[in-house]
């Protein structure tokens, strides 16, 4: 999207994939700060856990069995839809990308209510 990652914060649990040296070095090389939960308590990362639930049960549940490539593609499409096409009530019925970029909404999506 041509958006700078400088100053962003990557918050995660302490999963081995997020704590690995290779991954943390990649984040730091892009100017992304690292934040991790205190313990294995999912309540410390409730927003991310909710997103995982939305992704798994809201969009992928009915997809059936998938191989890794299919799952990767489905997750990528779901994240793009969540960030770019799905308005959120908590964001004043704007998408996360509209809020993050400061740009107005898509005029084709005038069905949104206030």
Domain extents in the chain: 1-36, 43-103
Q: CA-CA distance, 39 to 6, in Å (whole number)?
A: 27
Per-residue pLDDT, averaged over 73-90, amounts to: 85
Report the SS3 class of residue 33. strand
Quick one: pLDDT at residue 32? Answer: 94
Q: CA-CA distance, 112 to 105, in Å (whole number)?
A: 10
Which pTM was predicted?
0.51
Q: Share the mean pLDDT of the chain.
A: 80
Cα angle: 83, vertex 84, 90; to 5 degrees:
55
């Amino acid at each position: 999207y041509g958006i700078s990652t400088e100053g962003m914060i990557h918050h995660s649990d302490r999963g081995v994939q997020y704590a690995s040296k290779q991954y943390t070095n990649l984040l730091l090389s892009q100017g992304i700060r690292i934040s991790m939960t205190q313990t294995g308590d999912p309540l410390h990362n409730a927003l991310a856990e909710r997103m995982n639930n939305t992704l798994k049960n809201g969009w992928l549940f009915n997809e059936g069995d998938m191989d890794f490539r299919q799952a990767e593609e489905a997750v990528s499409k779901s994240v793009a839809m969540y960030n770019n096409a799905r308005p959120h009530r908590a964001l004043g019925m704007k998408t996360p990308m509209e809020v993050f970029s400061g740009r107005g909404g898509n005029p084709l999506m005038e069905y949104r209510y206030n």
